[in-house]
Amino acid sequence: MNQASNEKENLIMDGQEFLTFILGEEHYALDIMTVKEIRGYEAVTKIANAPPFIKGVLNLRGDIVPIIDLRIKFEVGQVTYDDFTIVIMLNIANRVVGIVVDGVSDVINLSMNDIKPAPEFGVAFDSQYLHGLARLEDQMVILVNIEALISSDELGLYESNRDLDIRENNNELA
């Protein structure tokens, strides 16, 4: 079931809008519909015994929201926090999570024809988290399947999806 939904998410609609952001030297883009807001980096509260890329949690108007730093997780760019460091707040599957990036640059419109399949190597992210590549004014933009990435077991942000699925199914049975 998971597999099926992932494939579904991989389909990109014509004219879909993407937010481009920068990690290190590379340009990435994610589906703008998942973006809740963009804000500057501010101090977070650490979570005990969490992996280093989970920076901690912060108070987003009363919600306790985890902040992850993809630069640490995928070892891209320099991990620095300054006035220009940006946090993109994402709303994925009714959960809010913030990702730390070096900057956001633009909102772009892409159609199916613009998107080339992702290479198996050479990109920090595993290809299962990518929609593909797009060329934009001499620049290569990597389209991240952010929903698959955030809810992946690899990040371990949530209890594993399979567990949740089973739980839901069981709840229905019960």
Partner 1 sequence: MTIDMSQFNDVFFEESQEHLDEMEHLLMELDLNDPDPEALNSVFRAAHSIKGGSDIFGFKALTGLTHVMENLLDRARKQTIKLSVSIVDLLLEMIDVLKSILACYRNDSDIDWELVGTSTRRLEDAVKVTSEDEPVDESDNEGDFGFFESPIIKEEVEEFGFFEDPQASKVSASDDEDFGFFEDVENKDVKEESNDDEEGFGFFDQDEPALEEKAKADDKEVVQSNNSEPPAEITSQEKEPSNSVASVVKSVPNPVANDAKVVEAKANDVPATTKPAATPVKAARRPLKPVEKTPESSTIRVETSKVDTLVNLVGELVITQSMLAMIEEEVDEGVSEKMLIALVELERNTREIQEAVMSIRMLPISFVFNRFPRLVRDLSSKLNKTVDLNLEGATTEIDKSLIEKLADPLTHLVRNSIDHGIEVPEERAKAGKTAKGTITLKAQQKGGSILISIIDDGAGLNRERILNKAAENNIPLQKNFQDSDVWNLIFAPGFSTAAEVTDVSGRGVGMDVVKRNIESLGGRIEIESTAGQGTAFHIHLPLTLAIVDGMTVDVAGEIFVVPLVNIIESIQPDQTQIRLIKNEPLLWVRGEYWPIIPLGSCLSVSNAIEDPSKGIVVLVESAKKRFGLLVDDLVGQQQVVIKSLERHYKRVPGVAGATIMGDGSVAMILDVESLSHSVTSQEYVQQAEAI
| Sites of contact with partner 1 (CB under 8 A) | 43-50, 56-59, 61-66, 95-97, 156-159, 166-167, 170-171, 173-174
CB 107 within 8 A of CB 17: yes
Query: In the bound complex, what is the minimum distance in angstroms from residue 173's beta carbon to partner 1?
Result: 7
Q: How far is the CB of 1 from partner 1 (least distance, A)?
A: 18
Q: How many CB atoms lie within 10 A of CB 127?
A: 15
The two three-digit tokens of residue 163, written as one number: 């567990």
Helix or strand (DSSP H, E) at 8: helix 2-10
Nearer to partner 1, 15 or 62 (CB): 62
Q: In angstroms, what is the minimal distance from the CB of 158 to partner 1?
A: 5
CA 46 from centre of chain? 20
Task: Measure the CA dihedral 78/154/46/38, to 10°.
Answer: 60
Nearer to partner 1, 64 or 140 (CB): 64
Amino acid in position 102: D
Give min distance, CB of 74 to partner 1, in A: 20
Q: Specify the residue, 47 or 107, whose C-beta has the smaller distance to partner 1.
A: 47
Q: For partner 1, give the closer residue by CB, 62 or 122.
A: 62
CB-wise, 102 or 147, nearer to partner 1?
A: 147
- Which burial class, exposed, middle or buried, applies to 158 when counting CB atoms under 10 A from its CB (0-12, 13-18, 19+)? middle
Smallest distance, Å, CB 98 to partner 1?
9
